[in-house]
Amino acid sequence: MTGFANDFPILAQEVYGRRLVYLDNAATTQKPDCVIDAISDFYRKDNSNIHRGVHYLSEVASEKYEEARKKVSDFIGAPEQSEVTFTSGTTGSINQVARSLEPTLKGNEVLVTGVEHHSNIVPWQLAGAKLRAIQVDDDCNLLLDSMEFTDKTRLVAITHVSNVLGCINEIREVVKIAKEHDVPVLVDAAQSIQHIPIDVKDIGCDFLAFSGHKMYASTGVGVLYTSERFSDVMPAIGGGGMVEKVELEKTTFLKPPLRFEAGTPDIAGAISIGSAIDYLQKIGMDKVKKHEHDVYSYARDKLMEMDIVRIYGTADEMCGAISFNLEDIHHYDAGLILDKMGVAVRTGHHCAQPLMRFLGVEGTVRASFALYNTKEDVDMLVEGIQKVEMIHN
């Protein structure tokens, strides 16, 4: 193992007698030792409920939880820590916004893009909104001219990076245009937070959603950044830990972030996000971005050299995922054989069925990268594809 892979114990194993090459990072990333230790330390030493107890452990747990919140707010450049809420993940974050804004959204419109995954489609539909998509060109660059605002447009909800194609959307431009129409913007950063530095002030968005598990932390926990101007929206979920005063007739709520965190949160999970951020910052996000860019470009070049490979999406800026198909070979057949070669990829529609229809395919093979991937991993992928071709013919 080379480079950062040494920090990730799971990558030291063999599958089917071959070195594991994990290229399914858009689905979930592996965890470094420090994150695994942070989770285990919490349960071994600090486990207690937070913001409730007067006892020692509760104080320690509360402090560590709030420390994680501070790390997140620093990491994404949130002006106030109160703008950072822990949720169950990207899907949970988006649903929280959809539920909170439901009265505004019902019968009105949300603008999305043609490259969204289902998590940025279904919650808005459930809130009663009609979706309209910002179109993309054949290279999957957003056609900003196609952003059409009507008197019913209440929100723009847009992914930063496509989970299928890896194209990076020009979110700053989108926010700028939306602001001109006084429409708030939610950015789905599920596929960008782990790859490129993010600053919410710089982006100017009103909401930003991402998951812990795609950025080297645990599953079942995520973040929703809500700009202060939405701090008084009604919480989507009610219960303990988020209320100021409860009477049978009426309840008043605490100020954010606690008003958006009903019940006992995933405390260890939040702490794991803090620990993952420490890890990323120790390396430096610019260094992460550069290393990943090198591996990603190498992978694209290598795959493009192969006659059998057809890559989808060639936007100007890309990161994370590469989607492709092999000529005359079904993506599922390719995935099965690559797996036997020790190469873990995802195949299918990647929870982005509208995009599949746009591309005119049933599914693709997706190789997606993280900071521990290397050019050697790409070589193994290439070797795997050659094997697929050989077996198939």
Partner 1 sequence: MRDAIQDEIIKEFDGLEWFDKYGLLISFGKVLEPMDAEFKTEENAISGCQSKVWINSLVNDGKLVFSLDSDAMITKGIISLLMKVINNRSPQEILDLDLYFIDDIGLKSNLSPARSNGLASIISRIREIAKEKAD
Among positions 282-301, residues that touch partner 1 (CB under 8 A) are none
> What helix, strand, coil percent values describe the chain, rounded to 5?
40, 20, 40
H or E element, residue 251: strand 251-253
CB of 19 to partner 1, least distance (A): 16
107, exposed or middle or buried, with CB in 10 Å at 0-12, 13-18, 19+?
A: exposed
Please tell me which residue in 34, 140, 319, 351 is annotated as part of the active site.
351
305, exposed or middle or buried, with CB in 10 Å at 0-12, 13-18, 19+?
A: exposed
Q: Binding partner 1 by CB under 8 A: which of 186, 242, 329, 343?
A: 329
CB of 124 to partner 1, least distance (A): 25
- Round to whole Å and give the CA distance between 149 and 73: 31
Q: Does 220 engage in binding with partner 1 (CB under 8 A)?
A: no
Q: Does 333 engage in binding with partner 1 (CB under 8 A)?
A: yes
Which token pair is 349? Answer: 């529609």
Q: Does 362 engage in binding with partner 1 (CB under 8 A)?
A: yes
Is the Cβ of residue 151 or residue 393 nearer to partner 1 in the bound state? 393
The CA-to-CA distance between both ends of the chain, in Å, stands at 33
Pairing of strands 84-87, 222-226: antiparallel
Which span (155-163, 227-235, 272-280, 323-331) binds partner 1, by CB under 8 A?
323-331
Q: Does 335 engage in binding with partner 1 (CB under 8 A)?
A: yes
Q: Does 129 engage in binding with partner 1 (CB under 8 A)?
A: no
Among positions 6-45, residues that touch partner 1 (CB under 8 A) are 16
Q: Binding partner 1 by CB under 8 A: which of 172, 336, 357, 386?
A: 336
Which span (242-250, 310-318, 336-344, 364-372) binds partner 1, by CB under 8 A?
336-344
- Round to whole Å and give the CA distance between 165 and 161: 8
Which span (40-48, 76-84, 219-227, 384-392) binds partner 1, by CB under 8 A?
384-392
- Clarify whether 351 is annotated catalytic: yes
Q: Binding partner 1 by CB under 8 A: which of 19, 132, 300, 392?
A: 392
Q: Does 391 engage in binding with partner 1 (CB under 8 A)?
A: yes
- Round to whole Å and give the CA distance between 388 and 390: 5
Which token pair is 31? Answer: 């965890």
- Round to whole Å and give the CA distance between 335 and 15: 15
- Residues forming the active site: 351
Residues forming contacts to partner 1 in the complex (CB under 8 A) are 16, 329-333, 335-337, 340, 347-348, 362-363, 387, 391-392
